[in-house]
Homo-oligomer: A and B are copies of this chain.
Amino acid sequence: MAARAAQMNPSVIREILKVTERPEVISLAGGLPSPETFPVEAFEQACARVLQTDGRAALQYAASEGYGPLREAVAAMLPWDADPAQVLITTGSQQGLDLIAKILIDAGSPVLVETPTYLGALQAFTPMQPQVAGLRCDDEGAVPDDLAAQAAAARFAYLLPNFQNPTGRTMGEERRRAVVEVAVRTGLPLVEDNPYGDLWFDAPPPAPLSARHPEGCIYLGSFSKVLAPGLRLGFLVAPKAVYPKLLQAKQAADLHTPGFNQRVVVEVLRDGFLDRHVPTIRALYRSRRDAMLAALEREMAGLGVEFGRPSGGMFLWLRLPPGIDAGALLAQAVARGVAFVPGAPFYPAAGDARTLRLSFVTASVEQIERAVAALARSLQDALQQRHG
């Protein structure tokens, strides 16, 4: 076995998901989009059309860069002037993280991440053996002064400006300007991950970092949250200086992303489909976020819990009162029929054991209400034990 293998660990989340797969448990743990939002009929029509009109090409080997019309569609969706030649179609945006790690990280290279950050990014970076350093963060994400202080030695900073996983927080306009200013001044490359940007509830988030500084950013996007994750279709947009190496890493990783899936999504996207479809997802997720916030206000009153009020995305971050460990609480919560993910694994180093992540998109409003009530009762039990 390689030394790198010893550092790789199973996803805590996936292990928890296995434990909580019992049907009587309401899971607020996973990051699963609501399957009601999957446009199954549109996919069925698109599959038939692709196979009838272009079946043999769709089933043949294809270019590692991705299917031309999909690269053009992606470039046209971006809020800055990106060339389709800079778009690389990936097997989910998770693969984008793997490719970036391969071309930018040597063993021991410093890499900066938000505190906490997306667990899957830590997993993608780990096999390349970086030194991962956490950035000081507030409720808008990375603090510019700390980014500047740590920039010199780092290969890149990995940032999720919109409705971050796991915290749900969003960088405001001023913060984005300040972060980009640091990147320009120090030459620190940014990796901007934006899987949730379209899932805003009230107003669209400010423009991406990449739109402000395209030559210094690699941008990651995905169709998982606006269409369906089971197709594994993501993309990255890279400066022309690094694109060729990312493409070579892509060739070596899986030759290319399934051409059939790429053609099916091009068919689904026709005639402004997303303009009609995404608002229905926003409305559904907003109603569930509202239900979760209302339930938390009601059920957690007086229990000393702090929680965020995300303005989009899929996740809400919660901090338990002093002395309560989210990992220990999970066992009691599962016994009462609700599951969540403890927050500590999302930290690059020692995590805050009082934090946890709740997803508000998979369960129904009625399930969310029952789940939050059960969580509050578990917490009351734990508080009594703490005082007892």
Q: Which residues of A contact B (CB under 8 A)?
A: 1-5, 8-11, 14, 30-33, 35-36, 38, 40, 43-44, 47-48, 51-52, 55-62, 64, 90-92, 94-95, 98, 102-107, 109, 120, 123-124, 126-128, 155, 224, 228-232, 242, 244-245, 247-249, 251-261
- Which residues in B have their C-beta under 8 angstroms from that of A248? 8-11, 123
- Which residues in B have their C-beta under 8 angstroms from that of A48? 44, 47-48
* Alpha-carbon distance A123/B126, docked complex (angstroms): 20
Q: Are A229 and B38 in contact (CB under 8 A)?
A: no
Closest to A103 in B: B5
Q: Are A64 and B14 in contact (CB under 8 A)?
A: yes
- Asked, given contacts A40-B56, A60-B35, whether A232 binds B245 with beta carbons under 8 Å apart, the answer is no
Q: Which of B2, B9, B105, B259 contacts A102 (CB 8 A)?
A: B2
Number of copies of chain A assembled together: 2
- Asked, given contacts A91-B254, A245-B1, whether A59 binds B44 with beta carbons under 8 Å apart, the answer is no
- Which residues in B have their C-beta under 8 angstroms from that of A102? 2, 4-5, 127
The 3 closest A-B pairs by CB, nearest first: A59-B228, A40-B55, A35-B56
Instruction: Knowing that A2-B106, A36-B56, A126-B252 touch, tell me 10 more A-B residue pairs with CB under 8 angstroms.
Output: A4-B102, A4-B128, A8-B245, A94-B254, A95-B253, A107-B107, A120-B251, A124-B253, A231-B260, A254-B254
* Alpha-carbon distance A61/B249, docked complex (angstroms): 24
* Alpha-carbon distance A252/B8, docked complex (angstroms): 9
* Alpha-carbon distance A244/B5, docked complex (angstroms): 10
- Asked, given contacts A14-B251, A254-B232, A260-B231, whether A106 binds B64 with beta carbons under 8 Å apart, the answer is no
Q: Are B38 and A44 in contact (CB under 8 A)?
A: no
* Alpha-carbon distance A10/B63, docked complex (angstroms): 13
* Alpha-carbon distance A48/B48, docked complex (angstroms): 8
Q: Are A127 and B32 in contact (CB under 8 A)?
A: no
* Alpha-carbon distance A33/B56, docked complex (angstroms): 11
Q: Are A252 and B103 in contact (CB under 8 A)?
A: no
- Which residues in B have their C-beta under 8 angstroms from that of A106? 2-4
- Asked, given contacts A102-B4, A251-B10, A252-B124, whether A52 binds B44 with beta carbons under 8 Å apart, the answer is yes
